Structure 1
């Protein structure tokens, strides 16, 4: 989130107003997205308008549109962040577990469990992003935003299926249930995120996670 604003000077001789630094190129764009994500962290809040966002940033609505063509494009910026962060971490998990578990029959199961663990921890640390992920923040927004999140979870499920399939091949076991198990894991993750959002961020998605994954993957 943006750094805290400087506090006014208590020196009575300090009569000059502090000079407000002009944001560097690209910095204001990041500030807008950070502020939008912060506003989304208010559970049960009203639909965020560009007027409210501009007021929070202490700028005009016209200033917002110099950086984003529409509010939908702002949400797309958040979705870009979610996709890039999550799938970058997914790739790290897959590569790390392949090296650590070379030759082991349960490497695919470990990969899948760690991917789900990473996803729910990401949502837990970024509640505003969690609202975007489950579509709660996208109600009444452009339909393509929800379609992108649907594609995100489709890609996640495909990744889980590949992990489980590769692990099954390594262990010379049938791979037919990889798709079913991946679908169940994906639905489990979505359900945890939805419960987190609907509870006003009180029911943490990581609650009893290890035991739950053991039941699903054991």
Structure 2
């Protein structure tokens, strides 16, 4: 069972998300709250996935991420930021703080369910509507392609293969299948890649893989 906490200052939004996710047998919304109660609620319930509004009037999503990082020593649950088209200035900051995904608030119900399952599997999720803004905003202020290429030299050849597949957005299971490796072996490689590159999560290493030219655009 995938355990989810919903954070949005609008009760109507939380009710709608709860209703959608409640139609599935493998997802349970264990709590929902506004921004002011978010950190305490998440710490109390320790969910697998958090859907977090990026912009709220009292305590916004970035503040919640900072609070979680401080209290969890950087070990965040899978957090997907709920956003709108007019919140681009927040996106790269959320990525740096450890967000594992970005979803538009008008995401179709079936896509929302798929995104939650994807996040729970350890993969990242980027709504097509915000992908360009997220990646573009992050890369605009991140290391250039040459610096990214130098950064990945600390990885072994096998770890670079794993990094390239992370850049394609594959889950651990997908990487294991593609590389004919045991899932436990892939998990170890992914942890090593994230650690060696000093990243917070898979989204950040996926961006770095793209910047370093490791992602196969022909697939």
TM-score above 0.5: no
Q: TM-score, normalized by length of structure 1? A: 0.28
Hey, which of these two has a bigger chunk of helix by percent? 1
Q: TM-score, normalized by length of structure 2? A: 0.28
Higher Cα radius of gyration: 1
**With CA pairs under 8 Å and 6+ residues apart, which has the higher RCO, 1 or 2?**
1
Hey, which of these two has a bigger chunk of strand by percent? 2
